[in-house]
Amino acid sequence: MNRSAQQKSSAHVTTRRLLDMKQNGEKISMLTAYDYTMARILDRAGLDVILVGDSASNVFSGHSTTLPITIEEMIYHAKAVVKGVHDESGRAMVVVDMPFMSYQISGDEALRNAGKIMKEHGCDALKLEGGMIIADTVKRITDVGIPVMGHLGLMPQSIYKYGSYRVRAQEEREAEQLLEDARILEESGAFAIVLEKIPSALAAEATRSLTIPTIGIGAGVACDGQVLVINDILGLNREFHPRFVRQYADLNTVIEGAVRQYVEDVRQTSFPSPDESY
């Protein structure tokens, strides 16, 4: 589907549609993608939202945190994903993570970078980590017409502050702060909030108290939607098996097996056959 066809498609998932889904009790499905081919598959499969996550820093580039990824790298991934969705049914909403330090320095800089990311690849929305501390920035970005998805709980861009990836907001003070941050994000114009690795009861309370949808990752079933990293559900990473991931395939084994067979076939000269030659 080309750009103009996609613009006309009434099936394309919008912020309004996500709000309706919450109100109607329809769950929102979201996964990450970082390239054209995967985006086409996810869109074809009927996924509601594709997140071009800064987890690309981990699963695509091999860094140990999300901090090193740059705006240019996020734009590169986002362009490929947006093109994949446009060339398929064009239904999925594409949300792009603003990378570490692209929105924290000042409101002006955040606005400039948000505009740059939106203009250069034509995605639908941006995602920022943080609560009260980024509320003014969220307001400035949404005021110019750019939809913002919030992200609370475990915020991987702050991993050096936490010192671990353990469950967040288990103590009352942090839980109360999270509820307050969620309320402020909604008030500042956010259209949805990702809740990462927090107790299910707290996520349920946040979901009840907000009019905008919550999308959980390790936050229980009461959230209005769920998000996971595509590499994790496909079993592409042998070393990473947190409790909140459900693995739907074992592509690591499938791919390794296919490549072993290919290596063997080349060595044995059983590939290419006459039928595979000119």
Of residues 136-165, which lie at the interface with ligand KIV (CB under 6 A)? none
Cβ contacts of 8-13, under 8 Å, gap ≥ 24: 9/89, 9/90, 9/91, 11/89, 11/90, 11/91, 12/90, 12/91, 12/93, 13/48, 13/49, 13/91, 13/92, 13/93, 13/124
How many residues bind ligand KIV, per CB under 6 A?
11
What is the nearest approach in angstroms of ligand KIV to the Cβ of residue 209? 21
Among 126, 229, 234, 236, binds ligand KIV (CB under 6 A): 229
Q: How far apart are the first and last CA of the chain?
A: 34
- The whole-angstrom separation of Cα 150 and Cα 28 is 15
What is the nearest approach in angstroms of ligand KIV to the Cβ of residue 17? 20
Considering beta carbons, is residue 18 or 51 the nearer one to ligand KIV? 51
Helix 107-121 / helix 135-143 crossing angle, nearest 10 deg: 40
x/- site string to ligand KIV, residues 51 to 70, per CB under 6 A? Answer: x-xxx---------------
Considering beta carbons, is residue 54 or 186 the nearer one to ligand KIV? 54
Among 128, 194, 212, 236, binds ligand KIV (CB under 6 A): 194
Rg over alpha carbons for the chain, rounded to the nearest Å, is: 20
Of residues 1-60, which lie at the interface with ligand KIV (CB under 6 A)? 32, 51, 53-55
> How buried is residue 36: exposed, middle or buried, by Cβ count under 10 Å (0-12/13-18/19+)?
middle
Catalytic choice (88, 129, 186, 196):
196
What is the nearest approach in angstroms of ligand KIV to the Cβ of residue 277? 43
Asked if 97 is part of the footprint of ligand KIV (rule: CB under 6 A), the reply reads: yes
Beta strand 49-52 with 93-97 is parallel
* 173 Rama class: left (phi>0) / alpha (psi -120 to 50) / beta: alpha
196: annotated active-site residue:
yes
Residue nearest to ligand KIV (CB): 53
Asked if 192 is part of the footprint of ligand KIV (rule: CB under 6 A), the reply reads: no
Among 217, 223, 234, 236, binds ligand KIV (CB under 6 A): 217
Asked if 214 is part of the footprint of ligand KIV (rule: CB under 6 A), the reply reads: no
Considering beta carbons, is residue 43 or 196 the nearer one to ligand KIV? 196
Exposure string over 3-31, b if 16+ CB within 10 A, otherwise e? eeebeeeeebbebebbbebbeeeeebbbb
Considering beta carbons, is residue 15 or 32 the nearer one to ligand KIV? 32
- The whole-angstrom separation of Cα 38 and Cα 43 is 9
Catalytic residues: 196
Contacts with ligand KIV, residue ranges (CB under 6 A): 32, 51, 53-55, 97, 194, 196, 217, 227, 229
